Structure 1
């Protein structure tokens, strides 16, 4: 799910391209909802340009500073039950890999509560056989969450996106579930020695979800909602479902030019990629959450200071440097976040999310600024680069002369 990553730094990057002709008309005609203070109009204009250039039908943006939500915007519309519905700042989107920050925080909280040590061995916690590869004994929770556990999707197929192959190998019918995925992967050798390198792994985070269930005695979703989200007043977030017919009432529609054979049954039916081309229930702990941009910005506040969810020690663990994997730009992967020390000596933390029908970006940067943008499609053949949202929002941040002080949080929670 992780896409290419440019170094996050305010003011670094390209100015959004100027839209001309029909694109300019599209940008000005995009339906909008929510609140944009005049001082933050640059964010709104940049988003409209970005949306028009990529023909995006549904999007959101939220901007905050020092724990206050200052901008909350919905863009576009979708059809639900035969009616055209405007995207609201509170509409639900699949957020893909932004979900990993919830899973990392959940295990940090379990460690905070004395339920587990992050150095605990995953095979021991889950009772996994290590006969296929004894190195599996050396996969700790730290390594699972920092993507140094031994699975590399550039070497072996990503098991979260290999439903037909796993079903065939195990001789089972579709849909497969977490147990099937774990059985398939555990019977194979790791791609590298745990702790020896960084390789982004959706499977590692899926396993982390199973550890959370084992330790808490709750479903993954129940533990996260009860322990992490409810204490800070986030009530809308929930795990998504695979089919359009299963969508929640305020959930947008997802778009992709691609189709795939269904993974929700053995019919062999060719379906729109976002609706049955992959399993949302299997994605849960690595990419299965639904949220709005305001939800995700408020979730980011949890990591600003000790509070009801995480204490100072746990926040430090979330952003701690791994044993390996600090890249040439000085950034590293923590527990569900990319992390880099910025030019003020504080931390910039961020993540992208990408799956068919979804692209999302959440960042917490210097001076207490944070923002989240979510879209109902991602970069595909013939569409402009979606990663450019990073420098675009960075440029908009740098252009703000005076930050508003009115807090919109209560309006959207």
Structure 2
């Protein structure tokens, strides 16, 4: 499901247009979110040094009713988590502990568990390929659904065991193309890059992120985690919901992810499904938990070209499209000898680029998991960023998911146009 949003938003980025004023007011945003059944959302606009706009909308819990709080409400940020992997890797690159183009087996130090493409063993798997989703790793969506576990159960298996289970030459989890020649979004590839961070730094990935990325930025690491047990009190964790206008939705959910024990809510909330808190086996790729304000501090680091934790050249590398735009997105429907190629991928290192219908380009990352939908974007001038975190669900392939995605993009683009134009006196 995490992959679906990348494909879904690729369509929306190229189709949505903005109507009306460039500066949305609170009432317009509230009505837009309510129309597509978004329970709650936080929205922030930042530059390199300040928060320019922040608002909370709706609720982090429908039962009991509890409003979203910009600072206190803790979201699992889903695939936005991947950008932290690139930050960790680039810190190790700066220390000359790893190289982006060296075979990762040199860092994993597992002589009995070497990772390579079984059909192309001479094409090494490197950090650059993993972070740009061009390592030819591909896991079926049915297997991806099994990564979701109730409570903290996913952490009963180590990150290393998870990676070596699914990414090894004895499996069929590979594309029929050499690594480095096509792009295909991969949670496992990102998790494998995080495992390299673990092995080289000699600390768990989650501890590394807290100690080497968040703490130096002045972030209270007691309010950040991946496990539910990382938080003394789960009352501030945003709850996951899915809008379900009929009974077929609950049936579909329980067929696809039965282990989450999803339930229909009672009484006048019966059109909503409640999704209990869960864990995710490839956790570095999708399960960092933090508030929107905490995430905004991290985004301002990126806008300020690394702040105190990265050098500007590392930020530049993360922004640079790997392969110069010549690596196509893998298309399983194209014949091997066909000239009908999918559009070029625009992955940097974890971050990726998208071009709007009006030609404007943005870099950032989306996040999708059951009951959560997020988007974090930076403009091409690299001086403005917008974050929307929400507990909306867009995992179902239906019109509502499309409308939720369009609403998020509309809000993003309206805010960018507003703040690009100067003082946002029209915001309220």
- With the length of structure 2 as denominator, give the TM-score of the two structures: 0.73
Q: Could you say which residue in structure 1 is the equivalent of 2:179?
A: 194
2:367 is equivalent to residue 353 of structure 1: yes
1:151-162 aligned at under 5 Å gives the runs: 151-153=137-139, 156-157=140-141, 159-162=143-146
* Alpha carbons 1:15, 1:392 under 8 Å: kept: no
CA distance in 1, matches of 2:155, 2:226: 19
* Alpha carbons 1:338, 1:349 under 8 Å: kept: yes
Structure 1 residues 298 and 246, CA, compared in 2 at 3 Å: closer, same or farther? Answer: closer
CA distance in 2, matches of 1:315, 1:254: 33
1:277-356 aligned at under 5 Å gives the runs: 279-280=279-280, 282-304=281-303, 305-323=305-323, 324-325=326-327, 332-339=346-353, 348-356=362-370
Q: What is the aligned-residue RMSD (CA, Å)?
A: 3.9
CA distance in 2, matches of 1:235, 1:120: 35
Tell me how many residue pairs correspond in the alignment.
367
1:390-409 aligned at under 5 Å gives the runs: 390-399=409-418, 402-403=422-423
Q: Could you say which residue in structure 2 is the equivalent of 1:47?
A: 29
Structure 1 residues 254 and 218, CA, compared in 2 at 3 Å: closer, same or farther? Answer: same
1:252-267 aligned at under 5 Å gives the runs: 252-256=238-242, 257=244, 258=250, 259-260=253-254
CA distance in 1, matches of 2:376, 2:9: 12
Structure 1 residues 375 and 131, CA, compared in 2 at 3 Å: closer, same or farther? Answer: closer
Structure 1 residues 42 and 207, CA, compared in 2 at 3 Å: closer, same or farther? Answer: same
Task: Tell me the CA shift for residue 352 of structure 1.
Answer: 0.7
* Alpha carbons 2:367, 2:373 under 8 Å: kept: yes
Task: Tell me the CA shift for residue 269 of structure 1.
Answer: 7.7
2:168 is equivalent to residue 182 of structure 1: no
Q: Could you say which residue in structure 1 is the equivalent of 2:276?
A: 275
CA distance in 2, matches of 1:180, 1:11: 38
**2:385 equivalent among 370, 373, 389:** 370
CA distance in 2, matches of 1:378, 1:396: 22
CA distance in 2, matches of 1:296, 1:268: 30
Q: Could you say which residue in structure 1 is the equivalent of 2:70?
A: 89
Structure 1 residues 283 and 184, CA, compared in 2 at 3 Å: closer, same or farther? Answer: closer
2:220 is equivalent to residue 235 of structure 1: yes
Task: Tell me the CA shift for residue 365 of structure 1.
Answer: 0.7
Structure 1 residues 100 and 132, CA, compared in 2 at 3 Å: closer, same or farther? Answer: closer
Superposed CA deviations along residues 293-336 of structure 1, whole A, max 9, x for unmatched, are 22223212222324211102211221122124367887611112
Give the unaligned 5+ runs of structure 1: 17-38, 165-172, 406-413
Give SS of 2:322's match: coil
**1:145 equivalent among 106, 125, 131:** 131
Task: Tell me the CA shift for residue 11 of structure 1.
Answer: 12
CA distance in 1, matches of 2:188, 2:142: 7
* Alpha carbons 1:63, 1:70 under 8 Å: kept: yes
CA distance in 1, matches of 2:146, 2:130: 20
Give SS of 2:235's match: coil
Task: Tell me the CA shift for residue 357 of structure 1.
Answer: 0.9
Structure 1 residues 316 and 84, CA, compared in 2 at 3 Å: closer, same or farther? Answer: same
Deviates more, 1:250-259 or 1:191-200: 250-259
Structure 1 residues 46 and 97, CA, compared in 2 at 3 Å: closer, same or farther? Answer: farther
CA distance in 1, matches of 2:225, 2:190: 15
Q: Could you say which residue in structure 1 is the equivalent of 2:19?
A: 15
Give SS of 1:332's match: coil
Give the unaligned 5+ runs of structure 2: 149-153, 245-249, 264-273, 330-341
* Alpha carbons 1:337, 1:349 under 8 Å: kept: yes
Q: Could you say which residue in structure 2 is the equivalent of 1:98?
A: 80
CA distance in 2, matches of 1:65, 1:101: 18
Task: Tell me the CA shift for residue 139 of structure 1.
Answer: 0.7
Task: Tell me the CA shift for residue 353 of structure 1.
Answer: 0.4
Structure 1 residues 361 and 134, CA, compared in 2 at 3 Å: closer, same or farther? Answer: same
Structure 1 residues 330 and 233, CA, compared in 2 at 3 Å: closer, same or farther? Answer: farther
CA distance in 1, matches of 2:116, 2:52: 54
Task: Tell me the CA shift for residue 291 of structure 1.
Answer: 2.1
CA distance in 1, matches of 2:409, 2:283: 25
* Alpha carbons 1:10, 1:397 under 8 Å: kept: no
